[in-house]
Structure 1
Amino acid sequence: MRITLCILTRNEIIGCKHDIPLLHKEAFDEIFAIDGNSTDGTIEYLTELGIPVYIQPRKGLNAACVYAFEKCNTDALIFFHPKGSVPVSDTENFRFLFEQGYDLVIASRNIKGGKNEEDNKIIRYRKWFVTFLALASAVFFRREGPIVWDVLHGFRGMTVRCFTQINPSAEGVSIDLEMVCRSYKKRLKRIEFPTTESPRLAGTSNFKALPTGWKLLKYLLTEIMKGD
């Protein structure tokens, strides 16, 4: 099994300077970055480290992920967002699971042993929304196998064969949820392993909560209407 690590960036220079030196590059057969037109030195920093950087031709998270698979030259691809918020060493947990035959592997904040950055708060809007989407997706689409509880964590990987099979949209921000819903429909082999999340080191999320949440609900309704 040959595996690619794809670093997804958009103005993440501080996170990159923290995370990238901690990567064990020899653990992967290919490493590159897909960048959303960073202006803070992220591109230059990664290039100096010898990591190829491809500027995504279209805007959006879905477009970045689809483009990453187009550039991938291996059997499976892992997405990593360098925000300084998850253990970099967890990037090395994917290979064993891919080699065990899993098609979709997700680093989960919401299973036993995992930690969501909201876990120390009384009000956990984001975590509750993710749990709602996880339950709704399972109710409508799961035929067999385990429920995926962290349907929106972008720290995940999928085999190239299966990504082509699920044929996700190249538009919007629903890619993480699409991968789960369509893996249920296609009866793909999936698994989560626990990871711990802390607040990002710097900057703000590129995905505002309310607009992004609404887009995800619209996607889910559209997928339900499609049926099988």
Structure 2
Amino acid sequence: MSIERKDVCILIPTLNEVKTIESLIRDFREMGFSEIFVIDGKSTDGTADVARRAGARVEIQVGKGKGAAIIEAFSMIKEPYILMLDGDGTYAAADADTMLGPLEHGADHVIGERLSGYEKGALTRLNRFGNHVINVLFKWAHGRYLEDILSGYRAFTQESLSRLNLKESGFEIETEIAAEAVRNDLRIVVVPVSYCQRPGTPTKLHPLRDGYKIIKTIYRLAKVGNPLFYFGLVGLSLTLLGIILGIYVVYDWLHNIERIPMTVLTGLLIMSGLIITMFGFLGDIFLAYHRETNAELRKLQIQLDKLEGQKKN
């Protein structure tokens, strides 16, 4: 199967990208892509007007934030394939075929990995370290190492998008997409792409503030994606705290010093920790059963679709 250009929607979320949006749209049009959709976050520099003149379909988002813009745009796209990238000039149209290739062979979701092919100066040492930490934390929380979960270069099938329950309104949207893709057992492929320096436009991402939000999102989403990690982390922390206090209580007791209130607190901490950890185990069992049920339902749906196709023929 070969993906035709007319079946692909190029989705570009923008906010004050007037310096780069025209050339980016022109590059995609020269490659034969006709469906170029710009979702603009109320830019004040004329980005939307420039994008329209360059031949893109432009919509102004209703809400606020990158995540909100992407979620709104997904609901407006009808093409069977979506290729999404930032409009700031850091990603190249030349990598489009690399991104779309895995979809031809059955992938549901493709992530463009920037960290092994970035242009000199495109990522600071802090950026690289932060990305590595976040990728490792994501693996611990969600069970998959996806190499670059914060990449803004993504490709989807329309069917896979219908299985993602997206709610994040800010820069956490890429993290949520990755977590939802893992939770729904999508076939995810990671491919290397180039990553260029920003051409003079200031970044909208604050490394420390947004990094904290992303890490918090990874942990919060683990509640439904990996309950054993979500509850187990809290339970283990309480249990360890109780054991440490217990050692102190026992040490004083051996020296004929009784600490009744601290003894009660020690017991409560250890019991609470074990109970919360048990919630994690139970949640993990229910999640495994839920995934198996969904997998069987998908198989059944595929069989029904085949039967309907045979009846029509």
TM-score by length of 1: 0.88
Please say if 1:115 is aligned against 2:113: no
Structure 2 unpaired stretches of 5+:
228-286, 288-313
2:82 matched residue in structure 1: 77
Q: 1:30, CA displacement in angstroms? A: 2.1
CA contact (8 A) 1:151 1:180 kept: yes
TM-score normalised by length of structure 2: 0.65
Counting only pairs closer than 5 Å after superposition, residues 1-228 of structure 1 correspond to structure 2 as 1=3, 2-24=7-29, 27-28=32-33, 30-111=35-116, 114-115=117-118, 117=120, 124-142=125-143, 147-226=145-224, 227=227, 228=287
Q: 1:4 to 1:34 in 2, by over 3 A?
A: same
Distance 1:120 1:15 in 2: 19
Contact 1:20 1:82 in 2 (8 A): no
Instruction: Quote how far apart the aligned CAs of 1:164 are.
Output: 2.3
**Counterpart amino acid of 1:187?**
D
Cα distance, 1:120 vs structure 2: 8.0
Alignment CA distance shift 1:70-1:119 (3 Å) = closer
Give the distance between the partners of 1:160 and 1:29, measured in 2 at CA: 18
Letter aligned with residue 125 of structure 1: L
Cα distance in 2 between the residues matched to 1:194 and 1:117: 16
| Count of matched residue positions in the alignment of Structure 1 and Structure 2 | 221
1:189 is displaced (CA, Å) by 0.7
Structure 1: 4+ residue segments shifted above 6 A:
none
Counterparts of 2:222 and 2:48 in 1: how far apart (Å)?
39
Residues of 1 paired with 2:170 and 2:189: CA distance?
25
The structure with the greater share of residues assigned to strand is 1
Displacement after TM superposition at 1:225 (Å):
2.9
Same amino acid, percent of matched pairs? 24
Return the alpha-carbon distance in structure 2 between the equivalents of residues 119 and 217 of structure 1.
Answer: 22
Q: C-alpha separation between the residues in 2 aligned to 1:21 and 1:110?
A: 26
User: Greater helix share, 1 or 2?
Assistant: 2
| Greater relative contact order structure (CA < 8 Å, 6+ sep) | 1
Structure 1 residues 225 and 118 mapped into 2: Cα distance closer, same or farther (>3 Å)? farther
- CA contact under 8 A between 2:83 and 2:156: conserved in structure 1? yes
State the superposition RMSD in angstroms: 2.1
**Contact persistence 2:100–2:155 (CA under 8 A):** no
